[in-house]
Amino acid sequence: MAKRPTQTPRANSTVLPPEVASRLGSGPEQLRVVGPLVARLLENGWALDQMMFGRHEWRVPRSPSQATLRERAQSYQSNPVDIAVFDAAKHVGKPKHLAFIIECKQPDDDSGISQLDAYLANEPHARLGIWANSAEDAAPAAYVYRMADGSFLSKRKTVAMLPRPHDRLTPDHAHVVWKDLQQPSVEGLKRIVERLLDKVVVSDAQVTRREEQLDQLCSVILLKLESDKQAKTHPQAPPFFRPLATHHDTAEVLRDRFSGFVQIYPEVFTSERDRTLRLDDESLYACAEALGSLKLIDLGISTVSTAFQVLRSEALKQGEGQYFTPQAVIRAGIKLLDIQWDDLVIDPACGTGGFLVETMLYLRRENPGLSESELSRWAQTHIFGIDKDPIGVKLTKAIMQVAGDGSAHTVRGDSVRTQRWATEYPHLSGGKFANGRFTVVVTNPPFGKNLTVSAEDARLAGLAIAKQDGVFADLEIGLLMLERSYQLLRKGGRLGIVLPETYFFSSKYQFVQEWVEGKLRPVVVANVPMDAFQGFCRAKTNFYVFEKVGK
């Protein structure tokens, strides 16, 4: 196919060229999809007079026998096609010169492919059928090609790959390079992730547990981001994350690349199962088709965070105390902590990295002259995160890469049960996560009466807040995280933490107030509205800022 120039992303628009709008039929589909697709074809170089659409649609015979009647210039039964493109304006309306057709009516690409197969079977001269329901560059589209032997081959691509007048209408195409990748919109990327999740859930034969499916998709997204980084560095080489000739070939390349990729982040991929892409060939091919033509690494952080909310929501375990911190709470908390250039920041219960990402964005806003490379270098050495949930850690890394590649020190681990670090989380045992190292700890730990740590674990971890009347007792994990945050801080450091109001204002927790005295000086108590965590937790919480005054 001919090499296409770089295009800027665009969305469906009802602002159409008058010559297109005047030919459209009635109905919202005509204005939102058919018209914008025709406008795209015009931009690609096709002439308006080469096309039939709108109020004068091309009609395809319903069967070979009906096609025969058409050849005899007799009345025949037919179905309308949304857009038909002929090889020249002078040949419009002549079946032998029909180049390709575009159909927009079907609700999904599988149904669209079935209809295109039927249409092409009754239009023997058309070489290509396309299904699309959006004119956006990154919108998924199904392409059905007529092969030399008369069979049909379907390919899932994007609207950005619509043919140009001198393109060969075959599935063969030039390798896509960095400049050809398309930036999707928020909703476009969100729909793609939703479709991938649906496909894996329904059809993957090798990974059937929901939690593992989500974990594997997170791994795939991380690999795609790594492919984008490499493609940006080597803009003339094709990205490795792309569909190849067969499902098997595509899956083998992705698995091989992933085996090398996990060596970059050994603290994230800590088990043998985690270090392997276990999705079946068909699922990995679907991922390559859906994501391969997209440019994710340069998306704005709000765009990719919103789209990945699909996986974040699915990964959410809505038990008491386990929920995502609302963005308004995150942004206010980081502003109260006033992160400075020389701060070392850690979230020991980082979840999907909301506080860590906002720390980067805050530094960027406060230092408008800061270059992307400077911000990235700062994040690599000043931002740290720990969480037990592998999905949360992987999504944190994905979002942090998009925000500025500050993902190196976001790792899996148990921040409370430090006695397990040497055997289960050896990457935490070095100096990077040492007590007394950090100037800022910011976190929203799990909390709730049903989320407790055993007395024995508290004793082995040396967490004195669980020691009452000389005896260790089972205690809520949020309170143990309070002490762990204190341990991680250096003297004079700031702690920002979301905790239930009862911990500091109820006589039941008088021991907490006694433990805090002489260790942490209250600086700010910020009210968090009850509805901030609506749907997940009804506990009244505050965002507390403390200064470490103890050793």
Give the per-residue pLDDT at 85: 96
Sign of the Cα pseudo-torsion (403, 408, 413, 415, in order): negative
Give the per-residue pLDDT at 190: 86
Q: Rounded to whole angstroms, how far apart are CA atoms 263 and 261?
A: 5
Tokens of 129: 């059928």
Nearest one of 271, 268, 279, 287 to 209, comparing CA atoms:
279
Q: Rounded to whole angstroms, how far apart are CA atoms 537 and 319?
A: 9
- CA dist 235 → 260, 504, 511 (Å): 21, 56, 60
> Mean pLDDT of successive 10-residue segments in the chain (551 residues)?
40 73 92 94 93 96 93 94 94 94 79 88 93 90 89 89 82 77 87 89 86 87 90 89 81 94 82 90 92 86 69 57 70 95 95 86 89 85 90 80 70 94 91 96 83 94 92 94 97 96 92 94 90 60 94 77
- Give the distance between the most distant pair of CA atoms in the chain: 100
Instruction: Say how many C-beta atoms besides its own lie within 10 A of residue 200's C-beta.
Output: 25
Contact assessment for residue 185 and residue 294, using Cβ atoms and an 8 Å cutoff: no
Instruction: Write the secondary structure of 494-544 as one string of H (helix), E (strand) and C (coil).
Output: EEEEEEECHHHHCHHHHHHHHHHCCCEEEEEEEEECHHHHCCCCCCCEEEE
Give the per-residue pLDDT at 5: 40
Q: Rounded to whole angstroms, how far apart are CA atoms 200 and 193?
A: 11
- Residues recorded for the chain: 551
- CA dist 340 → 363, 364, 403, 498 (Å): 7, 11, 18, 21
**Residue 311: burial class (beta carbons within 10 Å; 0-12, 13-18, 19+):** buried
- CA dist 316 → 320, 388, 424 (Å): 11, 13, 24
pTM over 0.85: no
Strand, helix or coil for residue 38: helix
Could you tell me the strand order of the sheet in which 489-500 lies?
Answer: 410-412, 383-387, 345-347, 438-443, 489-500, 541-548, 520-528
- CA dist 473 → 193, 453, 455, 468 (Å): 44, 9, 4, 7
Strand, helix or coil for residue 121: helix
Q: Rounded to whole angstroms, how far apart are CA atoms 134 and 228?
A: 25
Give the per-residue pLDDT at 8: 38
Q: Rounded to whole angstroms, how far apart are CA atoms 320 and 17?
A: 55
DSSP letter (8 states) at residue 4: P
Between vectors from CA 253 to CA 247 and to CA 254, what angle results, nearest 5°?
Answer: 90
Residue 387's contacts (CB-CB under 8 Å, 6 or more residues apart) are 349, 350, 351, 393, 396, 410, 412, 413
Residue 154's contacts (CB-CB under 8 Å, 6 or more residues apart) are 113, 116, 142, 143, 144, 145
Contact assessment for residue 24 and residue 31, using Cβ atoms and an 8 Å cutoff: yes
Q: Rounded to whole angstroms, how far apart are CA atoms 333 and 60?
A: 61
Could you tell me the strand order of the sheet in which 128-132 lies?
Answer: 51-61, 78-86, 98-103, 128-132, 140-146, 152-158
Element of type H or E holding 115 = helix 109-121
- CA dist 10 → 34, 40, 184, 289, 429 (Å): 15, 10, 9, 20, 48
Give the per-residue pLDDT at 33: 93
Tokens of 526: 């910020």
Q: Which residues pair with 497 in a beta bridge?
A: 443, 544
Helix axes 327-337, 354-366, angle to 10 degrees: 50
Contact assessment for residue 286 and residue 411, using Cβ atoms and an 8 Å cutoff: no
Contact assessment for residue 212 and residue 331, using Cβ atoms and an 8 Å cutoff: no
Instruction: Write the secondary structure of 360-409 as one string of H (helix), E (strand) and C (coil).
Output: HHHHHHHCCCCCHHHHHHHHHHHEEEEECCHHHHHHHHHHHHHHCCCCCC
Give the per-residue pLDDT at 12: 44
